[in-house]
Amino acid sequence: MHYHQYYPVDVVNGPGTRATLFVSGCEHQCRGCYNQSTWRLDSGHPFDQAMSDRVIADLNDPRIKRRGLSLSGGDPLHPANLADVLALVKRVRAECPGKDIWCWTGYRLEELSPAQQEVVSLIDALIDGRFEQALADPGLVWRGSSNQIIHRFRLDDDV
């Protein structure tokens, strides 16, 4: 897997203070996409063991308390990204107790493959669906168009 950007401290992509990883690779080609530079799977930088270690260390850094990890892109659920994304979310679950995981994808929840569902079974929230320019609304929180749905899998969250 490659990634485009990594923000070790981010207050925009999801609730609270977070670490955010924008992965490379997206096959949805939504009109009006503002992340077109992330479409190619080999764009950006290799997501290697050192980057995985850095994400885990940042989430556990007591100097800046992060609520959790946001996975965006590109598409974290692109089939070519699944093995590395699954490994990362498993590490967060095992090594970062109390941290949540939010994920943005262009796929809809009901059309996910078993491999994509395995990733989703380990996260706290999935924002799904392609960006639809006709339904775009800058007033929406954490999503770009009104067809996208914020699926919350953990009911004890406070937002």
Count the residues in the chain.
159
Cis peptide before 16 (omega within 30 of 0): no
Instruction: Tell me how far apart the alpha carbons of residues 123 and 4 are, in angstroms, rounded to a whole number.
Output: 21
- Least Å distance, CB 44 to ligand SF4, is 13
Q: Nearest 5°: CA angle at 77, between 72 and 151?
A: 70
Q: Write out the residues near ligand SF4 by the rule CB under 6 A.
A: 26, 28-30, 33, 35, 38, 73-75, 106, 130-131
| Count of C-beta atoms within a 10 Å radius of residue 73 | 26
The nearest distance, CB 127 to ligand SF4, in angstroms, is: 10
Quote the least distance from Cβ 104 to ligand SF4, whole Å: 7
The residue among 96 and 123 lying less far from ligand SF4, judged by its C-beta, is 123
**Pick from 113, 77, 102, 82: nearest CA to 159:** 102
- When the beta carbons of 33 and 150 are compared against ligand SF4, the nearer one is 33
Identify the DSSP state of 70: E
CA-to-CA distance for 125 and 113, rounded, in angstroms?
17
Q: 57 vs 140, which CB is nearer to ligand SF4?
A: 140
- Nearest residue (CB) to ligand SF4, 15 versus 129: 129
Q: How far is the CB of 145 from ligand SF4 (least distance, A)?
A: 9
Please, what is the minimum distance in Å from the beta carbon of residue 143 to ligand SF4? Answer: 10
- Nearer Cβ to ligand SF4, position 66 or 148? 148
